[in-house]
Amino acid sequence: MSKTGKDFRLNRWADPATWEALGIINPCEPFVNLPEIATEEGTETRKLSLLEPMLAVPQINPTILLQRFDYLTTYAMITAEGNVPAHNLRWTDGITKYTLTDCKVNTCEITVPLTGAIKAALTILAKTLDDTTYTPAWASYTEKPMTRKNVTTLLIGTTDVLTKFMEIAFGVDNRVSAEARGTGITPQDVYEREARYSGRIDVALTSAALLKDVYSGTRKTIEVALQDRQGTPVTKTFTFTDALLKVSRLSVAGLGRIVERVEWDGDSLTIK
């Protein structure tokens, strides 16, 4: 397989030509997943009597170098148990162009590493994936992606670990499903069930003594605040309430280092 393009872009759009940037996208491309296949055994001729696709779901899994929160807080990480909005996306690699319709974000995980940009990894399900000849007016942001320097608050209960973390990851599973009905295999519905919230914080072992009241089986409120790099910065605070903790120690291969990992499953998520 040869690729002739390298200008990977992905934008949300709504007729008549309302455009919304997603930010800097790592190279990705749409594909069609085949999650459901019907099989029935047949013994007379030593082959399957039935082998047919029952559901084919268009999908795209972009990773965004996070510049602004607009797309994430509107279409991915929905606070207060709100609905995940359906929306349309247009994609290009500089040569080929596709339209994905009635998209819903299935999962979103934000990762804050010690080095490099803050990233948001998304899985997005759609109803249809079609070629398009239309050239979108690609929208973009001008500021640099956020880094760990843009974390302004990091609390586990009342314990401040802002200067102690090695990596942070948190996100949501919107539990999106696609359903085909009638005689076709393309989805008639893309819908979500109740969301699940989770995350983790890796802390240097030398700071583990700070976490004396943080241990497996306890419940704490986790608070992570990020500030973007716009001229007038926007800060978003992600609060996971009544989060159930699981604490473990991990050996980092090749470094001779041990880190303490605090994982959680959140009861709910608020974003302010």
Beta strand segments in the chain, E:
9-14, 18-21, 24-25, 31-40, 50-60, 63-65, 87-92, 97-112, 119-125, 128-131, 151-156, 159-160, 165-173, 176-179, 189-192, 196-204, 219-227, 235-252, 257-266, 268-271
Look up the pTM and report it.
0.88
Give pLDDT tens digits for 37-75.
Answer: 888 887 677 778 888 777 888 999 999 999 999 999 999
| Residue 149 contacts residue 116 (beta carbons within 8 Å) | no
Mean pLDDT of 145-160: 95
Q: Which two tokens stand for residue 259?
A: 């880190």
Structure tokens at 260: 């303490």
Q: Does position 3 have pLDDT exceeding 60, yes or no?
A: no
pLDDT of 4 higher than 60? no
Paired strand residues for 200: 169, 263
Residue 143, C-beta contacts closer than 8 angstroms, at least 6 positions apart: 67, 68, 228, 229, 230
pLDDT tens readout for residues 89-109: 999 888 888 999 999 999 999
| Percent of the chain clearing pLDDT 90 (strictly above) | 48
> Per-residue pLDDT averaged across 230-242, rounded?
95
Residue 196 main-chain phi, psi, to 5 deg: -120, 135
Tell me what pLDDT residue 1 has: 36
